[in-house]
Chains A and B, each alone.
Chain A
Amino acid sequence: MNHRRKITVIAATTLLLSLAASSFLLHRVDQLRPQATLDEVLFLSSPAVIKRASLGYDGLMACIYWTRAVQYFGYRHHYHAASYNLLAPLLEITTRLDPHLIIAYEFGASFLSPQPPQGAGEPQRAVELMQYGIQQNPDNWRLYYDLGFVYYMDLRDYKKAAEIFQHGSQLPHAHPFLKILAAQMAQHAGEYDTARMLWSATYENTEDKQIKENAIEHLRALRVDEDVQHLQQAVTRFGERTGRLPENTAELAAAEHLPGIPLDPDGHPYKLTPEGRVEVRAPDDFPFATMGLPPGYTSRPALRDYH
C-alpha cells in the first residue's frame, strides 16, 4: 500500500468512526438533557417582528410556523397534555404572516376549541382566530361554517351558531347545507342529529385524510353517546318495572324488545355493570365519547411533564 492510499484509508476510517461516535454521544446527551425547554419557548412572540424579520418571505415563514403549530399540538395531544400554552400564539403568528392560509384557521380552531386533552380548551381564542380569518377572507364560507361549529360544539351558544351559519349561507358559492344547518340549529339545537349533521358535513367537505378520520371518530363517539343514553333509559325503565337491575344486556334486550344485543360501532356488545351502568368494552377506541366510560376513566397515561 503506497503512502497516499494509506492516508486515504486511515482518514476515511477515522471520519466514519468519528461520525458514528459523535452521533452516539449526541444521543446519550439528549437522554441526559430531555427537551426541557425547547417545546415551551417561543423566542419571538410578536407576529409583527417575525414578519419584518422574514424580509418579505412571509409565506414560507407562515408555512414553518404552521408546521410548528401542528407538531406542537400533535405531540402534546399524543401525550394527553393538560395545557397547550403556545398553541394560540403560534396560530396567531401563522395567520398574521399569511392571512390567507385558510387551513390554519380551520384546523387551528379545532385544535384550540375542544377541552383538554382533545384540544387546548380555549374556545374564545378559537373564536378570535376565526373572526380574524373572516375579516381577512370575507368571502370564504368555510370560515363561517367553522366559527358556527365552535359556537355550537364548544361554547354551546346555539343562537350565535345559527346566526353565523345564516350569515355564511348568504355568501356567494356558499354550500347549501349552511342554510339547513342554520334552520336545524334554530329548531333542534343540542340534539344528536344536529351534531351528526355537522360532523357528516365536515367529512363530506374535506379532502384531507386527517380531517375525515377526525370526523369519523366524532361520528362514532356520537353513536356511542346516543346508544348509551338510550340503553341507560332502558335500564331505568327495567328497574322501575321489575324492581331490580337486568343481569346483562341480553336480558335487557329481550325485556325491551330490542332487535338484538346492542353493539357499539365496532361490533362489540355494550357491557352492563352490576351497578346498572352501560359501558363500552374498549373505551380507548372511542376517544371523543362522553358517555359509557368507566368512572374515573382517563384514556391514556398523560406525560407528567405536560401540564
Chain B
Amino acid sequence: MKSSIPHIASNTFREAVRDRVLYNLIAFALLLSGAAILVGQISIEIEKLVVINLGLTAVSLFGVVIAIFIGIGLVSKEIEKRTLYTVLSRPVRRWEFIVGKFFGLAGTLTVNTFFMAIGVFAALFYVSHRFVRADALIFVALYFIILEFLIVCSLSLLFSSFSSPLLSAVFAFSLFVIGSFSADLRNFAAMAHGVSRWLATGAAYLVPNFSAFNVITSIAHEQPVAGQLILQNTLYALFYAAMALSGAVLIFEYRDLK
C-alpha cells in the first residue's frame, strides 16, 4: 500500500502557504535591510557582525514562532473543522497523519529558511561588498537552526496531539525557553544530592538542549565548527524529534476522536 505521508505533508505545506505564513519574509527583509543600513550609521565596525547575528537570530526566532503557532494547530484545527474525520475515513493511518503533518511543517520551515538565507547573504554582500570563505560557515548555522526547528515542530505536534492550542503554545514555548538553559539545568543537577540529583539530571536530559544548536555568535567571529559537533547535533536532533513524534503518535493513536 502506498504511503499517505507525502500527500499529507504537501497538503500541510500548501495550507501553511495559504495561511500566508511566508508573509513573515517581508518583515524579515525589512528588518534586515533596515539594520544593514542603520547600524553602519549608529555603531562602529559591527555592520557585518550585526547582519550575521541579527539575520540568523531572526531566522531562528521567526522559525520557532512559526513552528509553535502552526504546529499547535495542526491536529486541533483538523478536529475543529471536522476535516480529520474525512482524512481518517480514507486509507490513512493515524501515525501517517502525524508524521505527514510533521514533514509538511518541517518543509514549510525549510523553504522559509531558504528564502531568509538568501536575504542574509544579500545583506552581507551589501555591507561587505564581497564574500569570503568564512561566510560559508553561515550554512552550518542555518543547518543547526533547521535541526532546531525539527525538534520544535515535533514538540508542538506532541502537545497538539493531546492539548488545546493555547496550552500547547504555552508548553512548547516554555520548553523552548527551558531548552535554552539546559546546560544550566545540568550544572544545577551536578550540584544536587540524592534523589533530587537523579530527578534534576533526568529533567536536564529530557528537555531539548537548544543551546547546542546555537553557534551564531562563534560563526559571526568566523570560528569554525567541529565536524563532530555537526554529526552529533544531527543525530541528537533526529533522535529527539523521533522521540517526541513517537510520543505524539502514541497519544494520537489512543485518542478518542468521537
Stretch of B100-108, B214-222, B229-237 that contacts chain A: B214-222
Query: Are the CB atoms of B216 and A57 closer together than 8 Å?
Result: yes
Query: Are the CB atoms of A67 and B39 closer together than 8 Å?
Result: yes
Query: Are the CB atoms of B180 and A56 closer together than 8 Å?
Result: yes
In the complex, whether B211 has a CB less than 8 A from a CB of chain A is yes
Q: List 9 A-B contacts (CB under 8 A).
A: A52-B181, A55-B180, A59-B52, A59-B220, A62-B53, A62-B217, A71-B43, A101-B49, A103-B46
In the complex, whether B19 has a CB less than 8 A from a CB of chain A is no
Q: Smallest distance from the beta carbon of B67 to chain A beta carbons, Å?
A: 15
Contact with B along A100-118 (1 / 0, CB 8 A): 1101000100000000000
Query: Are the CB atoms of A63 and B214 closer together than 8 Å?
Result: no
* Given contact pairs A60-B53, A60-B54, A67 touches B43 in the complex (Cβ within 8 A): yes
Query: Are the CB atoms of B216 and A208 closer together than 8 Å?
Result: no
Number of B positions contacting A (CB below 8 A): 27
Once bound together, how far apart are the Cα atoms of A247 and B150, in whole Å? 85
Query: Are the CB atoms of A56 and B42 closer together than 8 Å?
Result: no
Query: Are the CB atoms of A56 and B53 closer together than 8 Å?
Result: no
Q: Smallest distance from the beta carbon of A222 to chain B beta carbons, Å?
A: 24
* Given contact pairs A55-B180, A67-B39, A98 touches B217 in the complex (Cβ within 8 A): yes
Chain B residues positioned under 8 Å from A62 (CB to CB): 53, 217
Report the tally of A-B residue pairs with Cβ distances under 8 A.
64
Q: Smallest distance from the beta carbon of A30 to chain B beta carbons, Å?
A: 19
In the complex, whether A70 has a CB less than 8 A from a CB of chain B is yes
Query: Are the CB atoms of A59 and B60 closer together than 8 Å?
Result: no
- A106 closest partner in B (C-beta): B45
Query: Are the CB atoms of A103 and B57 closer together than 8 Å?
Result: no
Chain B residues positioned under 8 Å from A208 (CB to CB): 44-45
Once bound together, how far apart are the Cα atoms of A103 and B49, in whole Å? 11
Query: Are the CB atoms of A63 and B43 closer together than 8 Å?
Result: yes
Chain B residues positioned under 8 Å from A158 (CB to CB): none
A residues with CB within 8 A of B: 52, 55-60, 62-63, 66-67, 70-71, 98, 100-101, 103, 107, 208, 210
Once bound together, how far apart are the Cα atoms of A103 and B42, in whole Å? 15
Q: Smallest distance from the beta carbon of B136 to chain A beta carbons, Å?
A: 18
Chain A residues positioned under 8 Å from B177 (CB to CB): 55
Q: Which 5 A-B pairs have the closest CB atoms?
A: A59-B217, A67-B43, A56-B214, A60-B53, A59-B53
Chain A residues positioned under 8 Å from B57 (CB to CB): 57, 59-60
Once bound together, how far apart are the Cα atoms of A103 and B39, in whole Å? 15
Q: Smallest distance from the beta carbon of B216 to chain A beta carbons, Å?
A: 5
Chain B residues positioned under 8 Å from A52 (CB to CB): 181, 184
* Given contact pairs A63-B53, A100-B221, A56 touches B211 in the complex (Cβ within 8 A): yes
Query: Are the CB atoms of A103 and B44 closer together than 8 Å?
Result: yes
- B64 closest partner in A (C-beta): A55
In the complex, whether B252 has a CB less than 8 A from a CB of chain A is no
Query: Are the CB atoms of B60 and A57 closer together than 8 Å?
Result: yes
Query: Are the CB atoms of A67 and B42 closer together than 8 Å?
Result: yes
